[in-house]
């Protein structure tokens, strides 16, 4: 005969000492499950005599109730401890500093470009754009590059595969083809303009990406240029010089900029010149506005009569100047960056260091950069 009080004290002690909910569940199955110890005792009641049953029944039922209550009590306690531990582990420490917020920066090329646009816009230039994928006519032929001329090779052109008409497009090697597009467009409207007494001056700048198969510290296969074009009846080299000198003083934000024109050759201008700025190269960095070294920063000249003819303008009536400058190179010069290739390497640390705040929009009146 099972000693009920011994069994009860054993089971109650094991319930009270169960370390976790799983151990408690195992105990419940062992005692109260279908063939558990107490369940077997309850089944035994049916085989007893009525007197025995009257005596044993309340005891076994009492044992079952006491063990079930002890298990439930221990379960509630264990669950409370588990919840406390979870809450302690998961609590949010509101005194911790917030994670840093990543803020975008304006790329120095775009900053330089915005500064240039602000300066030329103030001088009355409008903005024009053209396609990056060009044809040979706009990139070379209309600009007076003779067929098979070595200058075509000098540009290290990226050619695209031949299309179904046997024509090979190219990635434009300079922004000069947009001169041609602008002048063609103006020429189409010329008769109606003249009829209305509104003859053009054309005064445009053309910022954009250009491509050449070239890569070293001062050349990248993709870079940015800005073209300038002014066409009117009496425009001459003096206007070009004044425009570029004024631009340089404003862009470099110093009156001390000294420039010089050096004769040069471009197929699309005659005469042609390269412009240098005086600078100081000692000490591994370049400073504008001091020193006695020269640095080439752009090309320009008077638009060649053949180019005017190629777009249908009469060179005896119209003339003008054009120039082209390297946006990245001028930006690097102004902000003091040593290697142009870093500009397009996509390193976030680089842009964090050299980039500009989006709120520093260039404005000639309040300061550019």
Beta-bridge partners for 264: 272
Nearer to ligand DAH, 318 or 323 (CB): 323
Could you say which of 108, 200, 207, 301 contacts ligand DAH (CB under 6 A)?
Answer: 301
Could you say which of 28, 107, 152, 174 contacts ligand DAH (CB under 6 A)?
Answer: 174
Assigned token pair, 131: 């396609």
As measured in angstroms, the least distance from the Cβ of 325 to ligand DAH is 8
Q: Which of 317, 309, 245 is nearest to 275 (CA)?
A: 245
CA distance 276 to 241: 12
Q: Using the rule CB under 6 A, is 324 a contact of ligand DAH? A: yes
Structural element, H or E, at residue 297: strand 293-303
Q: Using the rule CB under 6 A, is 177 a contact of ligand DAH? A: no
As measured in angstroms, the least distance from the Cβ of 299 to ligand DAH is 3
As measured in angstroms, the least distance from the Cβ of 259 to ligand DAH is 15
Q: Using the rule CB under 6 A, is 322 a contact of ligand DAH? A: yes
Give phi and psi for 26, each to the nearest 5. Answer: -60, -40
Could you say which of 176, 220, 243, 310 contacts ligand DAH (CB under 6 A)?
Answer: 176
Burial category of 123 from C-beta neighbours within 10 Å (exposed 0-12, middle 13-18, buried 19 and up): middle
Nearer to ligand DAH, 299 or 362 (CB): 299
What x/- string results for residues 75 through 114 when contact with ligand DAH is judged by CB under 6 A?
----------------------------------------
Nearer to ligand DAH, 324 or 331 (CB): 324
- Four-CA torsion 110, 113, 115, 119, nearest 10 degrees: -160
Number of residues counted as binding ligand DAH (CB under 6 A): 11
As measured in angstroms, the least distance from the Cβ of 228 to ligand DAH is 7
Within residues 259-278, the interface with ligand DAH by CB under 6 A covers: 266, 269
DSSP per-residue codes, 245-288: HHHHHHHTT-TT--EEEEEEEETTEEEEEEEEEEEE-GGGS-EE
- Four-CA torsion 143, 170, 109, 301, nearest 10 degrees: -10
Assigned token pair, 296: 């080439």
As measured in angstroms, the least distance from the Cβ of 118 to ligand DAH is 21
Q: Using the rule CB under 6 A, is 299 a contact of ligand DAH? A: yes
Nearer to ligand DAH, 205 or 368 (CB): 205
Selected range binding ligand DAH among 111-119, 230-238, 298-306, 312-320, rule: CB under 6 A:
298-306
- Cβ pair 352, 317 in contact under 8 A: no
Q: Is the peptide bond before 361 cis (omega within 30 degrees of 0)?
A: no
Q: Which of 231, 268, 265 is nearest to 139 (CA)?
A: 268
As measured in angstroms, the least distance from the Cβ of 273 to ligand DAH is 8
What x/- string results for residues 209 through 228 when contact with ligand DAH is judged by CB under 6 A?
------------------x-
Beta strands 202-211 and 222-232: pairing type? antiparallel
Nearer to ligand DAH, 105 or 304 (CB): 304
CA distance 167 to 337: 40
Nearer to ligand DAH, 123 or 361 (CB): 123
Q: Using the rule CB under 6 A, is 300 a contact of ligand DAH? A: yes
Cβ burial 94-114 (10 Å sphere, 16+ → b, else e):
eeeeeeeeeeebbbbbbbbbb
| Residues at the interface with ligand DAH (CB under 6 A) | 174, 176, 227, 266, 269, 299-301, 322-324
């Amino acid at each position: 005969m099972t000693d009920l009080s011994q069994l009860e004290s054993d089971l109650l002690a094991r319930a009270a000492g169960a370390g976790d909910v799983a151990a408690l569940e195992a105990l419940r199955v062992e005692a109260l499950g279908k063939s558990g110890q107490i369940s077997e005792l309850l089944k035994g009641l049916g085989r007893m005599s009525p007197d025995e049953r009257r005596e044993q029944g309340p005891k076994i039922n009492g044992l079952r109730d006491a063990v079930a209550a002890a298990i439930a009590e221990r379960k509630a306690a264990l669950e409370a401890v588990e919840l406390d531990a979870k809450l302690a582990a998961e609590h949010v420490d509101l005194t911790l500093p917030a994670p840093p917020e990543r803020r975008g920066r304006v790329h120095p090329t775009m900053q330089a470009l915005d500064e240039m646009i602000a300066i030329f816009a103030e001088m009355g230039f409008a903005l024009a754009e053209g396609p990056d994928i060009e044809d040979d006519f706009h990139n070379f032929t209309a600009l007076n590059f003779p067929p098979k001329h070595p200058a075509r090779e000098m540009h290290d052109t990226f050619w695209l595969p031949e299309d179904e008409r046997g024509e090979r497009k190219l990635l434009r090697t300079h922004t000069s083809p947009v001169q041609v597009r602008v002048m063609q467009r103006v020429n189409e409207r010329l008769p109606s303009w003249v009829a209305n007494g509104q003859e053009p001056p054309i005064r445009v700048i053309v910022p954009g990406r250009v491509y050449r198969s070239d890569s070293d510290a001062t050349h990248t296969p993709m870079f940015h240029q800005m073209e300038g074009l002014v066409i009117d009846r009496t425009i001459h080299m003096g206007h070009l010089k004044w425009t570029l000198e004024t631009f340089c003083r404003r862009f470099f934000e110093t009156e001390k900029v000294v420039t010089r024109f050096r004769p040069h050759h471009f197929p699309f201008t005659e005469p042609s010149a390269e412009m240098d700025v005086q600078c100081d190269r000692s000490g591994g960095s370049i400073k504008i506005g001091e020193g006695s070294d020269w640095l080439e920063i752009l090309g320009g000249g008077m638009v060649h009569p053949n180019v005017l003819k190629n777009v249908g303008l009469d060179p005896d009536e119209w003339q003008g100047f054009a120039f082209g400058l390297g946006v990245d190179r001028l930006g690097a010069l102004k902000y003091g960056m040593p290697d142009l290739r870093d500009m397009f390497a996509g390193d976030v640390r680089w842009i964090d260091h050299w980039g500009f705040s989006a709120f520093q929009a260039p404005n000639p009146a309040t300061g550019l950069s």
